Amino acid sequence: MSSGQGGGGHSLAFRVMRLCRPALQVDLGLRFDPGDLVQGEDSYEEDHGLLSGLDVREREGVYWKRTELERPIDALGLSGLLVLPQSFGSIYLGESFCSYISVGNHTTHDVRDVGIKAELQTERQRLTLADSTKAPMDYIRAGGRHDFIIEHDIKELGPHTLVCMAVYTDWDGERKYLPQYFKFMASNPLSVRTKVRTVKETTYLEACIENSTKSLLFLDHVRFEPQPPMTATVLEVENENDTDSDGPLSGLLKKIKVVKANGGIRHFLYQLTRPSGAPTVAKAEGSNTLGKLEIMWRTTLGEPGRLQTQQILGNPIARKEVNLHIVELPSRVLLERPFLVRLSVSNQTDRHIGPLQISMSQDDAQGVSRAIVVNGLWTMVVPQLEPFASTDFNLSLVATAVGVQKITGIAVVDVRDGKPYDTLLATEVFVEPE
């Protein structure tokens, strides 16, 4: 596909061809009659005499003698040619770049001690793909050549330069160095957009995958790898490709996840859950790492591609310095009978905190007396907590009304300056009559 001639008196020259699967060539110049879709052209000729004035070459159209096939390929209306692109073509991130390199001696003299090296250079790095300079070949005969194949997974966008170099001794004993350069661009085949929604304790991640290439893509799988300890469940989403047709092929298209060329999209929805008691805040303050998307696809003739997104972040989470939560509730709560609730208070910082005061207000925000109140002192003190340490304690409560009641109004503050840290989430209990 790309070649270079030896210049400046060089005996050798590189030729480079990208190895890729060919495409079927359809001859659009062939005559097509819409009537051929419902009946063969033989019937037209017999019934209407429409083809009597055409020579043999003009009559051999796409669907000529469609009902009398001589070869199975005739039914497709294709010429059967497999055509290789005449340039490096479109090279995309996540695909494998495979190239056939040939270094040929175009002179009438042999060259000796031939060392060959192939490098791929990008804006960030230089990779050696082949190197025989430490063990050079004895010679390349006049008119002969040496061929080899290189392969590399494209992991960077932007310009790439394939540098082919040869060091050899010419027929007159002169040591020569030949570099040749073959440039191409790596583009992004997919555009991935994500949306994160949080409903109570459940997070939903929607991923929209858009095809930026000029051909169909067939998604092998789109897998979300959640950040531990979270788990991900795939939820079915109706995509634009799923609603194009109600015919017999629509179910197949949905199953193989076809993405149309030039902006076709598919949506994926994941439900992310976190085990109870697992930490909810990442080490980086205010961030919430959800995980990565891994996308694998194939082109129309089966060439594979693979991409993995960067870490997807959820909605920022306000970091608590101190966390107060219920560890254990009694199995039964009786009216006007004291019961113990086991609570835990934890220091979620890297410094000492406390002493801490745990208190429960007698009335709610509207000034209405609570149905569950403290049995005894309204406050208690927890000793100073070490960094990332926690401690459990029992709180004696009593219910003043039957039915479903809420334990609320319990808060933790700093004893020294009264700084509020956390308030216990409302917890429902069922109060039985004595």
Looking at residue 248, its pLDDT comes to: 60
Residues 133 and 11 in one domain: yes
Question: Which is it for the CA torsion 144, 145, 146, 147, positive or negative?
Answer: negative
d(CA 423, CA 385): 18
pLDDT attached to residue 241: 55
Q: Which of 296, 313, 330 is the last residue of a domain?
A: 313
Tokens, residue 236:
């079915």
Q: What is the pLDDT of residue 434?
A: 77
User: CATH code at 245?
Assistant: 2.60.40.1230
Name the strands in the sheet holding 12-18, side by side, starting at the edge strand that comes first in the sequence. Answer: 2-3, 12-18, 96-105, 145-153
Query: Within this chain, do residues 183 and 264 fall inside the same structural domain, yes or no?
Result: no
Residues 165 and 145 in one domain: yes
> Does 14 share its domain with 38?
no
What pLDDT, on a 0 to 100 scale, did the predictor assign at position 36? 45
- Regarding whether 206 and 176 lie in a shared domain, the answer is no
Per-residue pLDDT of the chain (434 residues; tens, 9 = 90+): 444 444 457 889 999 888 876 655 544 444 444 444 444 444 444 444 444 444 444 444 444 554 555 665 555 555 545 555 556 667 899 998 888 999 999 999 999 999 999 999 999 999 999 999 999 999 999 999 999 999 999 999 999 999 999 999 998 889 999 999 988 899 999 999 999 888 767 889 999 999 998 888 888 889 999 988 888 888 876 565 555 555 565 666 566 788 888 899 999 999 988 775 555 444 434 457 889 999 999 887 788 899 999 999 887 666 678 888 888 888 888 888 888 888 888 888 888 888 888 888 776 656 667 788 887 777 788 888 888 888 888 888 888 888 888 888 888 888 888 888 888 888 888 988 87
Q: Which CATH number do you get for residue 94?
A: 2.60.40.10
Domain boundaries, position 38? 23-83
Domain boundary among 187, 215, 249: 187
Domain count, the chain: 4
Within 10 angstroms of residue 57's Cβ, the number of other Cβ atoms is 7
Q: Is the domain of 95 the same as that of 62?
A: no
Q: What is the per-residue pLDDT for 3?
A: 44
127 and 117 co-located in one domain: yes
Give yes or no: residues 15 and 97 share one domain: yes
Same domain, 352 and 378: yes
Residues 298 and 390 reside in one and the same domain? no
Same domain, 260 and 348: no
N-terminal to C-terminal alpha carbon distance within the chain: 91
164 touches 101 (CB < 8 A): yes
Q: Which residues contact 257 (CB under 8 A, 6 or more apart)?
A: 218, 219, 222, 241, 266
Q: Which of 148, 164, 187 is the last residue of a domain?
A: 187
- Considering the domain architecture, whether residues 143 and 285 belong to the same structural domain is answered as no
Biggest CA-to-CA distance, the chain? 113
